[in-house]
Amino acid sequence: MSCYVFVIGALTAWFGPTDADMLVLGNLSFRDGLQRRDNTAEARPAFRQAAAYFDALVERGYRSRGLFQNQGNAHLLAGEPAPAIFAYRRGLRLANNDRTLRDGLTYAREQVAYPVTGSFARPPAEAWPAWIKFPSRLSLLLAAFGCYAALMLCATLWVIRRRAVAVAGLGVSLVLFLAFVGVFVRMASIDWEETHYPLVVIADDGVLFRTGNGPSYPLRSETPLNRGVEARLLAQRSDWLQIELGSGEVGWIPRTYALIDAS
Amino acid sequence: MVVSDRILSSLLSRARGGRPRARPAAILQSFVLLFVGTAAGKPPDEPPVIGRPANFSGAIGSFTIAAHAAPTELQAEDPVTFTVTIAAVGKAAQRPPRRPDLAKAPAFAESFYIEGEPDNAPTDDGQKWRFHYRLKPKNADVKAVPSLAFVFYTPGVLPPSRGYQTIYTDAIPLHVRMRDQVSPAAVEGGRKPMPAPDSVLALAEGPDVLLRPQPPWQPAPFLLIVLAFVPPLFCGGWYLIWRRLHPNRATAVRRRHSQAGKRALKALRARNGSQNGAVAVAAVVTEYLRDRYGIPAAEPTPNEMARSLASGGVCEHVAAKVTTFFRSCDTARFAPLVTAPAEDWSAAATRLILTLEK
C-alpha cells in the first residue's frame, strides 16, 4: 500500500495532481492508516496525510457529504478532533440526519475536554431534530401549496354543500399548511443563522476567552477553551474573533486559534 | 493675593527699567504685608491653574497616604485587593480627595487589570478615606504593586503654584506565579475514551464525493404569486358555475319571471296582425300572469286578477291598468262592435308586460 502511495504521489508530483488523483491519494493514505492502526505512531501520519488530501479538495471548492465524512474521519483518526468536528458539522449542513456523520461527530466530541461541571463551552442544542431529514425547499413548497389548495377546495365545498367532511378537511389542511409554512420558516432561519453567524471550532487547547479584542482585556471565564469547542462567529476585528459559545457566553479569542466555516 | 500683586508690580516696574520707586518704608511695608497678610488672609477658594499637575486629586489641605495589598502571593490574573488610605493632617480637609484613577497611572495600567469598587465614602469623621481596587496582574512578570502618586493642594504657600504637593505610597512586593496549565485530563476528569465507531473507519467513495455546491433553489416571486392565486381563482370559478347550475330561490324566481316575460313578448310579436287579436292577446297576458304571479284560474275575471296582483305585491295603479286591460278585452270579446284595432291590443299588452316587469 505504501508503495502504491509513493508511486502515485511521485506521478502526481511530476504531472500535477488532478482532483480525482487527490481523492485517490486521500483514500489510499486512509487505507494505509487503517492497516497500521495497531501502531498509533505509524497510523497517525498516514491519516494526517489523508486528511491533508481531503482538506485540499475542500479548498478546491468541493462540498459533499462523503467528502466531509472522509475529511472528518481522517482528522479524527489522526488525533485531531477539532478539524474533525469542523468537517462533520459542515457535512451535516448538507445532510442533517446522516447517521455516519452524526456518529463521527458524537465520537469526536467525546475527545474534547469540556469542563466537568456546568454547561460552559458545551456543544449547542440541535437546532433541528436529528431524526428528521431536512426537506428540500421544492418539496416543502409543493407540500404547502397542496395543503393550501386543499384548504381552498374544502372551504368551497363547505360553502356549497355544508358537509361536516368539508369542515374536517378544512381543519386538517389548515393545520398541515401552517405546519409546512412553519417548517419552511424554521429552515430559512437556520440557514440565515448559519450563513451570517458561521461555525467556529477552537483549534487549540487552553485558548483564553477574553472580554475584548486584545490580550489586555480581562478573561471572560477562568476556564480556557480547549480544541473542539464549538461556537458561532459574531464579529471579527483585526486578528480577533467575537464568538458565542454553545452555552451562550460571548467573548473574544485570537483568530489563529479558530477554524471558521467561510462557505 | 493683594500682596502678591504688589510685589509683582514692583518687580515688573524694575524690569521695565523705570525709576525704582521703592523706598525703604515701602519695602518694609511689602514684607509686613507679605507675612501678616498671608497669615491673616483667607485661603484661596480654587487652587491656581498655573502649575496644576495633570493628576491633581482635587483635595485641598494636608494629607498622608498609605496602601495595602492582599494577597501578595498569587497566580497571574488572580485578583489582589489593593486599598489606598488617604488621611487629612491637622485641621479638617477643605476639600476631600477624589478616587485615584489607577487606569491613568501607566505603571498600574501596564501591569494590572483594574477593577474598581464604588466605596469611596469617607470614614473617621471625614478625615480619612479608603479606596479599594481589585487588581489582576497580567502575567508572572509583575513583581510589585507600584507606588501611587497622590497630588493635593495646600493653601497658604507662596507663590500659590507651589502649593501643589505630591506624596507617594510605598510599592508593595508581589509574588506572581504563572497560571497552572489546565490539562485536558484534569478538566475531563480522566474519563476512559469510548471506542471508535465503525463508521469512523469507513470511507465514502463514488462519484458523489467530488461534488461542487449548488446554489440553493429559490422560488421566483412570480411563481409564488401564481401559486397563491391559482387555488382561489379555481375555487371561485367552481362556485360561480355551481351557483349558475343551482340558483337559490330568489334567483330562480327572478329567472322564471324574466323568462315568462320574454315568452309573452315573443308570443305577442308573433300574433301581431292576426284578426282575433283581443282574445289571443288576453290569453297571452293571462299565461304570463299565471307564470309571473301564480294566478290559479285558467280564465280569471278582472276582479280575481286584481286580487291576485295585489297579493303578489303589485301596486294599485298597475293592478288597475291590468284590470282595465282585461275588461277591455272582455268588451272586445263579447261586444265586437266596439272592438279596437288588433295592433292596439298587442301594443297595449306589450306596454302592460313591460310595466309589470319594471
Q: Is A141 on the interface with B (CB under 8 A)?
A: yes
Tally A–B CB contacts below 8 A: 125
Most confident of A23-32, B288-297, B322-331: A23-32
Q: What is the DSSP letter of B126?
A: T
CA distance A236 to chain B (A): 23
Report pLDDT for B25.
Answer: 46
Q: Which residue has the cell 374536517?
A: A168
Pick the residue from chain A with its C-alpha nearest to B196.
A107
> Is a pLDDT exceeding 90 seen at residue A149?
yes
Partner-chain contact A149 B230, CB within 8 Å: yes
Q: Is B196 on the interface with A (CB under 8 A)?
A: yes
Question: How far is residue B248 CA from its own chain's centroid?
Answer: 52
Report pLDDT for B279.
Answer: 77
> Is a pLDDT exceeding 80 seen at residue B278?
no
Report pLDDT for A9.
Answer: 65
Q: Which residues pair with B83 in a beta bridge?
A: B68, B132
Q: Is A205 on the interface with B (CB under 8 A)?
A: yes
The pLDDT tens digits for A7-30 are 766 766 666 778 888 899 999 999
Report pLDDT for B33.
Answer: 41
Kindly state the average pLDDT of the residues A148-167.
91
**DSSP per residue over A48-70, as a string?**
HHHHHHHHHHHHTT---HHHHHH
B217 contacts in chain A (CB < 8 Å)? 136-138
Q: For chain B, what percent of residues have pLDDT higher than 70?
A: 75
Q: Is B35 on the interface with A (CB under 8 A)?
A: no
Partner-chain contact A63 B77, CB within 8 Å: no
Partner-chain contact B187 A110, CB within 8 Å: no
> Is a pLDDT exceeding 90 seen at residue A241?
yes
Report pLDDT for A143.
Answer: 93
> Is a pLDDT exceeding 80 seen at residue B262?
yes
> Is a pLDDT exceeding 60 seen at residue B211?
yes
Is the Cα dihedral B9, B14, B19, B24 positive or negative? positive
Report pLDDT for A52.
Answer: 94
**Taking the model in full, what pTM does it have?**
0.54
A73 contacts in chain B (CB < 8 Å)? 199-203
Pick the residue from chain A with its C-alpha nearest to B219.
A138
Partner-chain contact B187 A115, CB within 8 Å: yes
| A34 vs B41, more confident | A34
The pLDDT tens digits for B109-165 are 888 888 766 555 555 567 788 888 888 888 888 889 999 999 998 888 878 878 888
CA distances in angstroms from A115 to A94, A244, B100, B178, B279, listed in the order given? 30, 17, 39, 21, 112
ipTM over 0.85: no
**Best to test chain B binding among A156, A161, A177 (most B CBs inside 10 Å):** A156
* C-alpha cell, B21: 520707586
Kindly state the average pLDDT of the residues A223-248.
92
CA distance B189 to chain A (A): 7
Mean pLDDT of chain B, nearest integer: 76
CA distance B181 to B216: 46
The least confident of A4-18, A104-118, B250-264 is A4-18
CA distance A190 to chain B (A): 14
A34 contacts in chain B (CB < 8 Å)? 201
Partner-chain contact B212 A141, CB within 8 Å: no
Report pLDDT for B11.
Answer: 42
Q: For chain A, what percent of residues have pLDDT higher than 70?
A: 94
> Is a pLDDT exceeding 70 seen at residue B275?
no
| H or E element at residue A149 | helix A137-161
Pick the residue from chain B with its C-alpha nearest to A65.
B209
The pLDDT tens digits for B55-92 are 888 888 888 999 999 888 888 888 888 888 888 887 77
